[in-house]
């Protein structure tokens, strides 16, 4: 299941803070701040999708993520590779390295990451 852009923005705050009350969510937005009802609607949709839950403290709800950020984005990237790159990680890597204006040092850093992953898989 996927989140809308507004839901993703809200999820980013929840992932960052781990546990958060409505006041903290509202405070995380720049002015003009969204209405409490708007955030409540987004949170309800996110609950229905299985992304967040809450603990009740009196009348206040403390929200927390049910899905890890890394798991969500990993699934997102896998879907993108499947849908746009014929399920070929090689096509994706080729596109990524040639189309994102990476500097030489960023490409070197990427090369190191790939080499480390190769070593890890060979062990």
Determine, yes or no, domain membership for 74: no
Residue 93 and residue 58 share a domain: no
Q: Which of 44, 41, 49 has the alpha carbon at shortest distance from 66? A: 49
Residue 91 and residue 60 share a domain: no
Determine, yes or no, domain membership for 72: no
Residue 16 and residue 61 share a domain: yes
HEC-encoded secondary structure of 16-34: HHCEEEHHHHHHCCCCCCC
Tens digit of each residue's pLDDT (9 = 90 or more) over 49-75 = 999 999 999 999 999 999 999 999 898
Residue 93 and residue 61 share a domain: no
Domain, as residue range, for 19: 5-65
Tens digit of each residue's pLDDT (9 = 90 or more) over 84-105 = 899 888 888 888 888 888 889 9
pTM of the model: 0.75
């Amino acid at each position: 299941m996927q989140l809308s852009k507004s839901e993703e923005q809200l999820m980013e705050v929840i992932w960052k803070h781990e546990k958060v009350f409505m006041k903290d969510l509202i405070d995380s937005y720049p002015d003009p701040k969204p209405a409490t009802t708007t955030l409540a609607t987004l949170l309800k949709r996110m609950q229905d999708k299985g992304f967040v839950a809450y603990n009740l403290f009196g009348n206040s709800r403390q929200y927390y993520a049910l899905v890890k950020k890394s798991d969500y984005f990993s699934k997102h990237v896998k879907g993108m590779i499947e849908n746009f790159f014929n399920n070929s990680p090689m096509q994706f890597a080729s596109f990524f390295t040639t189309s994102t204006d990476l500097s030489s040092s960023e490409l070197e850093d990427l090369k190191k990451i790939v080499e480390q992953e190769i070593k890890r898989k060979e062990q």
